Amino acid sequence: MTPAVRIVAFHGALWNIDPWYRWSWYAWPAAMAVLIAGWILLSKPVNGDAWGNTGSWAKPIVQKAATSTATPIKTTTANALDLEVLSCFANSTVGSEAVCTKLIEGGKISGSRLASVYTQRGFMRRDRDPDSAMADFNAALKIQPDYPAALNDRAWIYMTRGDYDTALQDLNKTASQSTPWAIAAVAYYYRGFAYLRLKDYAKAVADLNEAIRRLPNNADYYLARGEALQGQESYDAALGDFDEFSKRAPKDPRGLLARAAIFETTGRPREALTALDAAVTLAPDSDFARSERDRLREQVKDDAPAKSRPAEPPPT
């Protein structure tokens, strides 16, 4: 899950646990409107003469001191439970995972908050222990069957296992205009990637277009779309996407490797070799890049015309 999606999840956690956080989201647009209205009012004379003199309307009114009977708004500070929930979402460390586990086992949270904590713990586990992560996502979805982050993350595990059809069942629920913006972008990317692996290139391109529209700075989206375009034999468009990937991830050799594959496919081995040389320079420890470069070097050398021998002197 991308940093943008984690921010959305963090916002969701605050929204659920802190009523004053929710209130601020309602209050600040109204406050801004009052400020703008006041600025407009004060910037224009009312009942003034031709020179803009406003008379006495703008003079301050002297008020007598009075004792307010209004009760001041009490600012709430997060209690220990709220802080634990926030700590669970703080980052992806083992310490945060332990906090999430404590919240799950403590029985003090329920509903959407519990579903979000299960999902967060599953996200932290998914690379190291995908089976436990899957159990967490299933638990979250048992509590809240339409929870989009859990559906996305469970689909990701299905895809790592090559089960793209099952992944699509989850992603079809989240790749939607009604899903929060960044979470939907991930859903469209995952679904596009699943279609790519199933060689349904048209659907892959359509979904990846939507993912890029939502999060245009994510390099991986361009790499996946470039591969789908390559599958459609739209080689120039694919090269453009691989360039966009390299612009956003200049230290990642995958864009150069993808360019090399297209150059070789389209009969331009020397351009492919140039791209592979650049990939090896960028990632000298990449066995794949070096093996591809060495293979193509041999091919280019074998295809080169033999040098003509010097003419033998005529017999005497």
Q: What is the DSSP string of 264-288?
A: HHTT-HHHHHHHHHHHHHH-TT-HH
Hey, where are the domains in the chain? 1-19+80-145
CB 150: neighbour CB atoms within 10 A? Answer: 28
Distance in angstroms (rounded) separating the CA atoms of residues 32 and 59 = 24
pTM to 2 decimals?
0.72
| Residue reference for tokens 């629920």 | 173
**148 φ, ψ (degrees, to nearest 5):** -65, -40
CB 203, CB 231: distance < 8 Å: no
pLDDT tens track, the chain, 316 positions: 554 555 545 555 544 444 444 444 444 444 443 333 333 333 333 333 332 333 332 333 333 333 333 333 333 456 888 888 888 888 656 778 999 999 999 999 999 999 999 999 999 999 999 999 999 999 999 999 999 999 999 999 999 999 999 999 999 999 999 999 999 999 999 999 999 999 999 999 999 999 999 999 999 999 999 999 999 999 999 999 999 999 999 999 999 999 999 999 999 999 999 999 999 999 999 999 999 999 999 988 876 654 444 555 555 5
Distance in angstroms (rounded) separating the CA atoms of residues 121 and 278 = 39
Nearest to 97 by CA among 89, 106, 108, 109: 89
